[in-house]
Homo-oligomer: A and B are copies of this chain.
Amino acid sequence: MTQKKRPHHHGNLREALILAGLELMVEGGPDALSLRKCAARAGVSHAAPAHHFKGLSSLELAIVARGHAMFAEFMIAARGKAEDAPHAQLSAICAGYIQFSCEHSALFKFMFLPREIRPDLFDSVTWEQFTIESSASYQVLRDACLPFETGAADGLATEVMVWSLVHGYAMLFSGQSRLASHDVAIPDFAQILPMLALKAV
């Protein structure tokens, strides 16, 4: 049976390219991601993405934005299952953070790859999506730390400490990546967080 040739107008190519990129990432890691492969998977020619993205780096940032949306969902879902006490909320959100980094290991690392973040480097749609979604995901953790901040003199010390800790742990110890491999079992993050002995004020 002859295959119906797709007409010139895709209809929702931007979204299709982002989804194709997420699939390629999951299947083969960040090195498997390319504009031409995304275009092929979306059923268009190699130059079609140029109308929607300001080059490969814009498509990558759009994928990062999508990752932040999923990331925030994980933390919010975890928070929803916890008791109202500040410690319980913070523990749950951190658990969601670590769970996402385990279950979406490649995407999580891809999200935090070093890249130049400047509005003039990306198309405006992608830039707006990225700033909204990354701020929203960070705000989940930030809100959870508020009850523990001690005052203006310390500024954001608790927030910075908690985010450093959970992010460092996610980068170094979660998922398949265990940069420091040795024979002793790595403690769960649930064992680490209480060691901070945080006090709500």
Contact = CB atoms under 8 A, between A and B. Distances in A.
A187 B154 contact: yes
A201 interface: no
B192 A163 contact: no
B180 A164 contact: no
Given A114-B109, A187-B155, A171 B171 contact: yes
A90 to B, nearest CB: 15
A147 to B, nearest CB: 16
Interface in A133-183: 134, 138, 154-158, 160-161, 163-169, 171-173, 177, 179-180
Copies assembled: 2
A30 B116 CA distance: 11
A195 B114 contact: no
A25 to B, nearest CB: 11
Contacts of A29: 114
A186 B168 contact: no
A30 B114 contact: yes
Residue among A29, A117, A160 with the highest chain B CB neighbour number at 10 A: A160
A104 to B, nearest CB: 13
Contact of A160 (B114, B154, B157, B173): B173
A159 B122 CA distance: 40
A185 B197 CA distance: 24
Given A106-B114, A112-B179, A157-B195, 9 more contacts: A154-B187, A160-B187, A160-B192, A161-B165, A161-B195, A163-B180, A164-B172, A164-B192, A166-B168
Interface of A: 29-30, 106, 109, 112-114, 117, 134, 138, 154-158, 160-161, 163-169, 171-173, 177, 179-180, 184-187, 191-192, 195-197
12 contacts: A114-B177, A155-B186, A156-B184, A157-B195, A160-B187, A160-B192, A161-B192, A163-B168, A164-B165, A168-B171, A196-B196, A197-B197
